[in-house]
Amino acid sequence: SRSLNLAVIPGDGIGREVVAQGLKVLSAVLPQDVKLETREYDLGAKRWHRTGETLPEAELDSLRRHDAILLGAIGDPSVPAGVLERGLLLKLRFAFDHYVNLRPSKLFPNTATPLAGRPEIDFVVVREGTEGPYTGNGGSLRTGTPAEVATEVSVNTAYGVERVVRDAFARADARPRKKLTLVHKNNVLVHAGHMWKRIFDRVAEEYPAVTTDYLHVDAATIFFVTQPERFDVIVTDNLFGDILTDLAAAVTGGIGLAASGNINPTGEFPSMFEPVHGSAPDIAGTGKADPTATVLSVALLLRHLGHEAEAVRVEEAVAADLADRGEPGSDAGASAAAGPRTTDGIGDALAARVAG
Ligand code: NAD
Ligand code: IPM
Ligand code: MN
């Protein structure tokens, strides 16, 4: 019989609440002959306060041995900003070489969006996951003085750019519309921007069926709102991809619906699946968090591990649940406002749908 050996990092804030719902749906959808084994890792703010640790080597070694990782969210107002985000979340993405940060966006029916009634929106952002301004290169001189100097250096390697661009071309080539848009800012960031564009244009020659486009990131934000249907696959740098995918979530149904996969395409390391959103301290503990983004991340996890039929069942359950939600804005996904159902209630409804 088959097995799925899953590492679970609930993390902080609503991360713990939404991960419980993701696991509920995962257990309900898996076929009988797939043995689900989960191990929960106590990482995040509580652990840091207790021991000062973010991600000890022993746990990193242990995490490596799982088939995949499901993560809730990391970050807490009681911990200095960056300590957990860099020391835990980014450490995992870098250590497990998650160079493809996959963030799909679909316009769901019945959700609160300024784009309701628009043509079909269905695009995916392939966000570079291991380089750019996220590497931690830089520093501060004369910290805290009026003469302070701070730098954050964006690191872009030909190797790192080419592999993520290749992944994006392959994804575009496999989709019906076969369109790939590079988003950068090569009118200002001339060193990294021109390298990205050169590599993009060179790889494009190997994919004659793929239509290509280039947008500066500022213009891309316009089209995310005014013409989102023009996008199919987007490939972009780590920081641009971070910002664009929160915007994409907001215009296609809300941050409570946006899923992501931190993929290591070579399979050398486990891939990690998590909602795009954070720990939402403003609603943690209230039952208002929408777990749908985590449930859709579970669908990405299932697809990645070859359980395509189960991934589709989860996505169909979410679509049906959203269609049943009634008036836009009446449920938790719409905003941080209270809806008629709780986090747990939405998780139960989705688990029931995939099981039945
Ligand atoms: P956030 O995504 O946590 O919250 C932004 C807004 O969206 C808040 O109003 C929140 O209530 C709302 N929201 C988020 N998820 C929701 C959901 N599932 N249902 C309903 N509403 C939801 O972003 P933030 O406030 O900038 O960050 C809070 C903390 O989370 C910070 O420590 C940050 O570093 C961290 N963070 C972590 C991740 C991650 O773990 N991948 C991602 C983003 C932010
Ligand atoms: C995300 C988050 C992270 C990022 C932070 C918390 C490090 O915003 O997953 O989108 O910037 O990648
Ligand atoms: Mn983000």
pLDDT at 326 (0 to 100): 63
Ligand nearest to the CA of 339: 1
Domain boundaries along the sequence of the chain: 1-99+265-356
164 CA distance to ligand 2 middle (Å) = 18
Residues of the binding site for NAD(+): 278-290
Pocket test for ligand 2, best of 98, 99, 242, 260 (most atoms within 8 A of CB): 242
Of 3.40.50.1820, 3.30.1490.20, 3.40.718.10, 2.40.40.20, which CATH number belongs to 1-99+265-356? Answer: 3.40.718.10
Contacts of 330 (CB under 8 A, 6+ apart): 339, 340
* Averaged pLDDT of the chain: 94
b/e map of 155-172 (b: 16 or more CB within 10 Å)?
bbeeebbbbbbbbbbbbb
- Which of 42, 201, 218, 324 is the catalytic position? 218
Residue type present at position 219: A
Q: In angstroms, how far is CA 338 from the centroid of its own chain?
A: 24
Contacts of 105 (CB under 8 A, 6+ apart): 121, 122, 123, 124, 125, 228, 245, 248, 249, 252, 258
246 catalytic? Reply is: yes
Contacts of 259 (CB under 8 A, 6+ apart): 103, 104, 273, 275, 276, 293, 294, 296, 297, 299, 300
Average pLDDT over residues 118-145: 95
242 CA distance to ligand 2 middle (Å) = 6
pLDDT at 336 (0 to 100): 35
Closest residue (by CA) to atom 12 of ligand 2? 242
Q: Please indicate whether residue 105 or residue 335 has the higher confidence score (pLDDT).
A: 105
ipTM for the complex shown: 0.99
The closest-lying atom of ligand 1 relative to the alpha carbon of residue 71 is: 40
**Residue among 213, 273, 271, 223 at smallest CA distance from 244:** 223
The closest-lying atom of ligand 1 relative to the alpha carbon of residue 77 is: 32
**Residue among 287, 291, 274 at smallest CA distance from 347:** 291
Going by the DSSP 8-state scheme, the letter that residue 205 receives in this structure is T
Per-residue pLDDT tens over the stretch 292-349:
999 999 999 999 999 999 999 999 999 999 988 865 544 444 443 335 799 999 999 9
Give percent of the chain with pLDDT exceeding 70: 96
Cα-trace Rg, the chain: 20
**Residue among 57, 129, 128, 126 at smallest CA distance from 87:** 57
Provide the whole-model pTM: 0.96
Per DSSP, the three-state class of 187 is coil
279 CA distance to ligand 1 middle (Å) = 5
